[in-house]
Amino acid sequence: MSNFEEAHVLVVDDSSVDRRLIERLLRVSSCKVTVVDSGLKALQLLGVDGLKVDLILTDYSIPGMTGYELLKKIKKSSKFKEIPVVIMSSENVLQRTGKCLEEGAKDFILKPVKLANVKKLKNYMKRPSTTRFNYFCCIYYYIFFLFFLSLFLFFCVFVCLSQ
Amino acid sequence: MEDNKVLRQQLATMRQSFFDEGILDKHYVQVEELEDKDNPHFAEEVMTMFFRDSTKLIATVEHALEKSPCDLPKMDKYLHQLKGSSSSVGASTVWSAINKLREILKDGDIERFKTQFLCLRDEHEKLKGNLEPYFQLLRQVGPVETAQRPM
């Protein structure tokens, strides 16, 4: 991913130890991080506070709203459904993985989260910086095109005048 | 400088013993690897957070055990949380003790649970007892860059 700006990840986990570890893993991977301890706070930040994020990384087992319920709410929302969601869990339950992926989760990470898991997250992220990069590339191609077109027209005029 | 060298050797020996005895595993190494010059005490910070939470959770389970009848699902929920954080920091023997406890809880054998709970408490105290002097010594010795500064 080209890094004209840092990717922003919203982490949802009720374990303070895991929040600190995952936050640090993301920061060493050049991500901007916001951490919360509940699904409700995550929705508040996104909805009420208008927080813009490139990915949501949530634990499956959180009190109140589970990570799965948060995923469903995100995917049902017209405003947030495009935000990629990745679920984490300390338990490898196939049924759990299956239903999260069916509901639209991009991936399911088995805890403890490793640096390799975090590096992989960039593949799922929205790419506003890439869109900007493409826009600049188009401008450059357009300028080159105009330049060569003018050269060509100048050459044609020159040929006509010399005849 | 010489004293520092001796202390560093002592630290290295202490650290190696944690892995040799199996009280810490490779996940702790990842925690250490997240340290840098801006976060030189990250491992200590994380372990302090872990002990703060784990001490509270163990006390909560102990309190729940005293009630009759015991609320088994609630106790399992606390043990699940403890299992998660101990796995994240590489507290291997604590993690194993929790797994055994959760297995016993499934059978509903409260007496066996109480015995195994004492093992968990012992492993937890052993880890704490080992890491506290280790981190104290680590702070005394300082990060590697400090040791290399000329006198």
Task: For an interface test with A, give the residue of B81, B83, B127 to mutate (most A CBs within 10 A).
Answer: B81
Interface pTM (ipTM) of the complex? 0.89
% chain A with pLDDT above 90: 72
Per DSSP, the three-state class of B132 is: helix
Would you state the structure tokens that stand for residue A158, as one six-digit string? Answer: 């020159």
Which pLDDT belongs to residue A110?
94
% chain B with pLDDT above 70: 93
Q: What is the overall mean pLDDT for chain A? A: 89
Tell me the per-residue pLDDT of B13-59, one tens digit each, with 9 for 90 and over: 999 999 999 999 999 999 999 999 999 999 999 999 999 999 999 99
Write the CA distances from B129 to A121, A127, B42, B60, integer angstroms.
37, 48, 19, 21
CB contact under 8 A, B34 and A21: yes
Which pLDDT belongs to residue B148?
39
Would you state the structure tokens that stand for residue A87, as one six-digit string? Answer: 């679920």
Locus of tokens 């560093």 = B8
Euclidean distance between CA atoms A71 and A85, whole angstroms? 7
Locus of tokens 């005490």 = B41
Which pLDDT belongs to residue B1?
65
Euclidean distance between CA atoms A136 and B85, whole angstroms? 46
SS (H, E, C) A47-67: HCCCCCCCEEEEECCCCCCCH
Check if the beta carbon of residue A11 is closer than 8 Å to that of residue A23: yes
| Identity of the residue in B46, B80, B81 whose CB atom sits nearest the CB atom of A21 | B46
| Identity of the residue in B30, B36, B85 whose CB atom sits nearest the CB atom of A15 | B85
Strand order in the sheet with A31-36: A31-36, A7-12, A55-59, A85-89, A107-110
Q: Which residues of B touch A30 (CB under 8 A)?
A: none
Which pLDDT belongs to residue B15?
96
Locus of tokens 């291997």 = B92
CB contact under 8 A, B27 and A90: no
Q: What is the mean pLDDT of residues A44-58?
A: 95
Q: What is the mean pLDDT of residues A17-26?
A: 97
Tell me the per-residue pLDDT of A92-126, one tens digit each, with 9 for 90 and over: 888 889 999 999 999 999 999 999 999 999 899 86
Judged against a pLDDT cut of 80, whether residue A140 lies above it is answered with no
Check if the beta carbon of residue B80 is closer than 8 Å to that of residue B102: yes
Cis (ω within 30 of 0) for the bond into B69?
Answer: yes
Instruction: Give the DSSP letter of residue A113.
Output: P
**Res. A4 pLDDT band, cuts 50 70 90:** very low
Which pLDDT belongs to residue B26?
95
Which pLDDT belongs to residue A127?
58
List % helix, strand, coil for chain B (3-state, nearest 5): 80, 0, 15
Q: Please tell me the number of Cα atoms within 13 Å of A137 on its side-chain side.
A: 6
Locus of tokens 């013993």 = B17
Judged against a pLDDT cut of 50, whether residue A22 lies above it is answered with yes
CB contact under 8 A, A20 and B45: yes
Kindly give the interhelix angle for A94-102 and A67-76, rounded to the nearest 10 degrees: 10
Tell me the per-residue pLDDT of A80-97, one tens digit each, with 9 for 90 and over: 999 999 999 998 888 889
Judged against a pLDDT cut of 70, whether residue A137 lies above it is answered with no
**Res. B150 pLDDT band, cuts 50 70 90:** very low
**Res. B3 pLDDT band, cuts 50 70 90:** confident
Tell me the per-residue pLDDT of B83-114, one tens digit each, with 9 for 90 and over: 999 999 999 999 999 999 999 999 888 999 99
In sequence order, the 6+-apart residues with CB closer than 8 A to the CB of B78 are B57, B60, B61, B64
Would you state the structure tokens that stand for residue A138, as one six-digit string? Answer: 């188009």
Euclidean distance between CA atoms A58 and B41, whole angstroms? 26
Judged against a pLDDT cut of 60, whether residue B137 lies above it is answered with yes
What would you report as the CA-atom Rg of chain B, rounded to the nearest whole angstrom?
18
CB contact under 8 A, B83 and A90: yes
Minimum Cα–Cα distance from A22: chain B residue: B88
CB contact under 8 A, B84 and A111: yes
Which pLDDT belongs to residue B90?
97
Q: What is the mean pLDDT of residues A44-53?
A: 94
